[in-house]
Amino acid sequence: MTKLRGAVIGVGYLGNFHAQKYKNNPNVELVGVCDHFPAQADKIAADLGVKSFHKPEDLIGQVDLVTIAASTLSHYELAKMFLQNGVHVNVEKPITATVPQAEELVAFAQKNNLKLAVGHIERFNPSVLEVKKHLKNPKVIELNRMATYKTRGADVSVLHDLMIHDIDMLFFLSGSEIESMIGTGSKLVSKELDTASVTFKMKNGVVGIINVSRVSSGMQRSVRVIQEDNTIFALTGTHELEKVEKGNGTPDELVKITKWTVNKEDALQKETDAFIDAVLNNKNPVVTGLDGLKALKAIEDVEKLIEG
């Protein structure tokens, strides 16, 4: 079988990993990497033994699919250029800087039968998938994402940087749309929001609570789900899970607590492989452009709520 030809646009910290994942997939030939900074493109290309490109347009005609891991502000123009030239696109989250840009890309991809996938990597997190398996009739879904401050990513708010992961997970785990929300946030270091706490009422009655901060003393990612007869808690960074339910009624076991772990998996490799599989077998991506648009719309609504 002829291999698909792929490339990564934007090979900074995250894009470098994306390029490595392409190299690991037997169905793709990594044609090259491209970056706004020529020296960075040259360095990563040399490390991976592929060609370096300094202009993304030079890849047209040489690739079947690309991953865009450049700055958010460039997502729209880059994705549009490749889609208009018949190239399937996987773009890092958020899909674009604005909702109208995302709507245009989604409509164009659908009209022209092109795959547009969005890098909401938590959909491939084994802990999140394990929690999903245990859901029956969730009443409350609480998502917490705490990180230490880094200048990388600080050009956008904590909503676009971190909360967008949890918004997508809330849609994924609740299986519903947002009906209403209340929330607040603060700007401690940046010109943009650094913390946010929002409570959502979903249309199916589920209450969603999302707390994010990029000015915490340590890193933590967790999911807690309250159901009729149990509570499930997962540390999604370390893949430790806990289920609390009614015990057998004896004094020794009024409450039954079950703890377990799931195997760590390479979520970025799974994301890359899923995108390649969607192109190869003409399937919908696991996280579609429409999913990315929905998450971005919700983030913009949260931003309007908090900023007033």
Residue type, 237: G
Domains of the chain: 4-120+268-287 (3.40.50.720), 123-265+298-307 (3.30.360.10)
Edge-to-edge strand ranges of the sheet holding 230-235: 178-186, 195-202, 207-213, 140-146, 220-226, 230-235, 240-246, 255-261
- ∠ at Cα 35 (32, 39), nearest 5°? 95
pTM for this model (two decimals): 0.94
CA distances from 68 to 3, 29, 278 (A): 20, 16, 17
The closest of 200, 107, 160 to 297, measured between CA atoms, is 160
Amino acid 233: pLDDT: 98
Residue 3: how many CB atoms within 10 A of its CB? Answer: 14
- How high is the mean pLDDT in each 10-residue block of the chain (308 residues)? 92 97 98 97 98 98 98 96 98 96 98 98 98 97 95 79 96 98 95 96 98 95 97 97 93 93 97 98 97 98 94
Report the alpha-carbon distance of residue 17 to residue 232 in Å, rounded: 32
The closest of 109, 126, 124 to 65, measured between CA atoms, is 109
Local structure of 293: helix, strand or coil: helix
Amino acid 1: pLDDT: 62
Q: What are phi and psi of 294, to 5 degrees?
A: -60, -40
For residue 302, list its beta bridge partners.
none
Amino acid 113: pLDDT: 97
**Lookup result for tokens 């339910």:** 245
With 0-12 CB in 10 A as exposed, 13-18 as middle and 19+ as buried, what is 235? Answer: middle
Q: Where are the alpha helices (DSSP H) in the chain?
A: 13-24, 38-48, 72-84, 99-111, 126-133, 158, 164-174, 267-280, 289-307
For residue 210, list its beta bridge partners.
143, 198
